[in-house]
């Protein structure tokens, strides 16, 4: 039986393909071109870090920047000094000597080698010693006037003061210590034994002052000072005599 058009199967109507139209304006193109890539960002960061690093290195080398992560800051919280006593001085410092002494001290432990126990130190000490004349103990007859323009003054001989060691110029030139001595440094308040060498240097400088002509220079300077002082008040003949101290007579 023939098939009619009405009996033939009907096909669903086909949809028209969808077409999407994207309009790109000139501003959109510019914004897309401005958007940086990851590679450019990384390159910029590396260049900036390199510039900062070069600036820091140059600043530290030239001294413009002081960047030391291990630097320390000293804060002085100590109160001001308080006056305890005032003393009237009657001594005249007639001369001063500057001395230097080199201490070469070795502490040897006989049963142990030096790298285990022992110490060898070279200490350079610099200081001064004064020669003083005491005017406080003058007797009543210490000044004898002879005529109108002559006078005789009797004084006790000059004495040496205590050596004053300069801590700024005195130093440990070299020091070799054994292992036991190095360990003991951590438990000692005087790590390099400076107090001991200061005491030894004190004796050395005092001995050097006694052996020098410091006392005779003090007598000469005292005589010159008194002659100039009394000469201004009309004394043309001023004689100064030095006698041993009372305790040494």
Query: What does pLDDT average to over the chain?
Result: 77
pLDDT digits (tens, 9 = 90+) for 119-141: 778 899 999 999 999 888 788 88
Please determine, for residue 93, whether its predicted confidence score (pLDDT) is greater than 70.
Answer: yes
Same domain, 102 and 48: no
Which pLDDT score is estimated for 7?
53
In a domain, 68, yes or no: no
In a domain, 180, yes or no: yes
Same domain, 40 and 131: no
Which pLDDT score is estimated for 138?
81
Same domain, 109 and 200: yes
H runs (alpha helix) in the chain: 26-34, 38-62, 179-185, 194-211, 214-231
Same domain, 33 and 149: no
pLDDT digits (tens, 9 = 90+) for 27-81: 555 555 555 567 777 788 888 888 877 776 666 556 555 555 556 778 888 888 8
Contacts of 237 (CB under 8 A, 6+ apart): 146, 147, 149, 150, 151
Same domain, 58 and 105: no
pLDDT digits (tens, 9 = 90+) for 148-182: 889 999 999 999 999 999 999 998 888 776 565 55
Task: Identify the domain containing residue 135 by its residue range.
Answer: 91-248
Same domain, 44 and 133: no
Same domain, 221 and 136: yes
pLDDT digits (tens, 9 = 90+) for 186-211: 445 555 567 888 999 999 999 999 99
- Total domains in the chain come to 2
In a domain, 244, yes or no: yes
Same domain, 159 and 206: yes
């Amino acid at each position: 039986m023939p098939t009619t058009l009405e009996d033939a199967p009907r096909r669903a109507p086909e949809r028209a393909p969808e077409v999407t139209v994207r309009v790109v304006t000139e501003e959109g193109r510019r914004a897309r071109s401005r958007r940086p890539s990851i590679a450019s960002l990384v390159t910029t960061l590396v260049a900036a870090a390199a510039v900062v690093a070069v600036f820091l290195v140059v600043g530290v080398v030239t001294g413009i920047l002081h960047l030391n992560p291990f630097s320390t800051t000293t804060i002085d919280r100590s109160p001001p000094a308080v006056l305890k006593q005032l003393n009237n001085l009657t001594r005249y410092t007639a001369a001063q000597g500057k001395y230097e002494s080199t201490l070469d001290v070795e502490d040897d432990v006989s049963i142990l080698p030096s790298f285990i126990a022992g110490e060898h130190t070279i200490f350079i000490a610099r200081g001064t010693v004064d020669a003083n004349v005491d005017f406080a103990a003058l007797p009543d007859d210490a000044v004898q006037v002879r005529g109108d323009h002559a006078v005789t003054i009797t004084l006790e001989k000059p004495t040496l003061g205590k050596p004053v060691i300069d801590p700024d110029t005195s130093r440990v030139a070299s020091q070799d210590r054994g292992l036991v001595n190095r360990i003991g440094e951590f438990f000692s308040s005087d790590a390099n034994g400076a107090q001991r060498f200061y005491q030894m240097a004190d004796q050395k400088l005092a001995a050097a002052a006694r052996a020098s002509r410091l006392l005779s220079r003090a007598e000469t300077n005292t005589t010159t000072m008194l002659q100039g002082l009394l000469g201004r008040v009309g004394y043309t003949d001023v004689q100064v005599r030095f006698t041993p101290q009372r305790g040494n007579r």
